[in-house]
Amino acid sequence: MKLRIDIITLFPELIRCFAETAIVKRAQDRGLVFIKAYNLRAFSSDRYRTVDDYPYGGGPGMVLKPEPIYRAVEFIKGITDSQPRVLITSPQGRVFNQSLAENLSLCSHVILICGRYQGIDQRVVELCQGEEISVGDYILSGGELPAMIITEAITRLVPEVLGDEESIHFDSFYDLILGPPQYTRPRIFKDKEVPEVLTSGNHSLIEEWRRKEALRKTRLVRPDLLERSNDEVVQEQ
C-alpha cells in the first residue's frame, strides 16, 4: 500500500459512494491507495452521540466538539501505528493547490477531518497538529466535498494510478501555468478546423505550439500564476 487516506465525517455514506467510483476505485482495486470513512458520531461518549455544542462567547451556529474528533484521530493512529499528516477542511485554511497535492501524494498516510457548522474547536487543530486546508474562497455546508476534492487530486498523482503517467505533465497547474487547448476528431466541426500544427506530425513544433498557447491562456485567464512561477521560460515569454 502506497497511500492510506482516512476521512472523519458526519456523512460517511458520501465518502463511501465517492470511493467506489472512477479513478479512486481503480487505485484501491490495484492496491495503490486505501480510503476509509469514519462516522464522527461513533466517537461520541454520550447516548445521544453528540458531536457539537454552542460556541463560547456567543454567536450563531454550532461548533464541533474536540473530544470526538480527538478520539477518532487517536483511534486511527492506534490501528495504523503511524504518524499521519492530519488535514482539516476549513475556509480559514491554506488554499489547496497542485503543489500541495503533489506534496501530499508522497505521504504514506493522511487523515482528513471534515469541518461542519461554524467550524471545529481550535484545540483539535493544536492537539492533532492539524493543517487547515481550504479549496477556495467560498463557503460550503460541510467539508465532505473538499475532502473528496483533496482525495482525488492526490490519488491521481500516486505513481502507477494513472494508466498514462505522462498525462500528468499536460495538466493545468503542473508547472504553474494552465494547460494548452486540446482537440480530437473530427478534424473539422461546424467549419472550425483543428490547428494545422497538431496534424503535422512534427513533435517539436507541436510542443512549441502547446507551450505558447498555454502561456497565452494563462496570461489571459490567470496572470497571477505567471507572477508566482520560477520557470525561466515563463518569465522570458
What are the backbone angles phi and psi of residue 22, rounded to the nearest 5°? 50, -135
In order of 60, 188, 189, the CA distances from 192 in angstroms are 55, 5, 5
Is 226 known to sit in a ligand binding site?
Answer: no
What span, in angstroms and rounded, lies between the C-alpha atoms of 54 and 58?
7
What span, in angstroms and rounded, lies between the C-alpha atoms of 215 and 164?
24
Name residue 135's amino acid. Answer: V
- Provide the pairing of β-strand 3-9 with 33-39: parallel
Residue 225 cell numbers, joined = 500564476
What span, in angstroms and rounded, lies between the C-alpha atoms of 124 and 25?
30
Residue 4 cell numbers, joined = 492510506
Name residue 151's amino acid. Answer: T
Is 137 known to sit in a ligand binding site?
Answer: yes
- Provide the pairing of β-strand 3-9 with 85-95: unpaired
Q: Is 26 exposed, middle or buried (0-12, 13-18, 19+ CB in 10 A)?
A: middle
Tell me the residue length of the chain: 237
Is 120 known to sit in a ligand binding site?
Answer: no
Is 78 known to sit in a ligand binding site?
Answer: no
**Cis amide linkage into residue 84, ω under 30° from 0:** no
Is 135 known to sit in a ligand binding site?
Answer: yes
Binding-site members are 115, 135-140
Binding residues for S-adenosyl-L-methionine: 115, 135-140
